[in-house]
Amino acid sequence: MKKMYETKVTSIGGREGEVFSPDRSFAYKTTAPGKRVEGATNPEQLFAAAYSACFNGALGLVMQNEGESYPSTVSARVALMSDEATGFSVAVTLEVHLEGASKERAEALTALAHEVCPYSKATRNNIDVQFEIV
């Protein structure tokens, strides 16, 4: 495969630190989920932002290939899970809204997008990913 893009983000201090790109165009303080620290985010929010944006892009590509166009909104709910046997994991629910599409068509386009989205491919068979058509 040909590399199309690469980026780098560094984390210092884990959940109570910061993440940043070398040029600092991307820079956030980090904190643990549930803590309210002004101007800070957590890894689950960052993953939700990345997955929802990537999946919405995949939906756009699928719609273009299908000759269709619906305004789309994708929200990702990322849950931090804990289990005594396996430890920590994440689960994702993607809420997909395709304005003007029937529920059946939205489900079909979502299924197609799930096959092409790089984040969906990376998480397949690794974490629980659910879809809600809204």
Q: How many domains, in total, are found in the chain?
A: 2
What is the number of alpha carbons within 13 Å of residue 124 lying toward its C-beta?
A: 11
pTM for the structure as a whole: 0.93
pLDDT above 70 as % of the chain:
100
pLDDT in tens, 7-46: 999 999 999 999 999 999 999 999 999 898 999 999 999 9
Cβ-based neighbours of 29, under 8 Å, separated by 6 or more: 17, 18, 37, 39, 40, 41
**Per-state percent for the chain, helix, strand, coil, to nearest 5:** 35, 30, 35
| Residues 84 and 95 grouped into a single domain | yes
pLDDT in tens, 67-78: 999 999 999 999
CB-based burial label for 88 (10 Å; 0-12, 13-18, 19+): exposed
| pLDDT at 86 > cutoff 90 | no
pLDDT of residue 133: 98
| Residues 59 and 119 grouped into a single domain | yes
| Residues 55 and 75 grouped into a single domain | yes
- Written as six digits, the tokens of 120 are 């969906």
- 1 in a domain, yes or no? no
| Residues 48 and 111 grouped into a single domain | yes
| Residues 89 and 103 grouped into a single domain | yes
Give the domain CATH number at 123: 3.30.300.20
| Residues 52 and 80 grouped into a single domain | yes
| Residues 117 and 76 grouped into a single domain | yes
Residues across the chain: 134
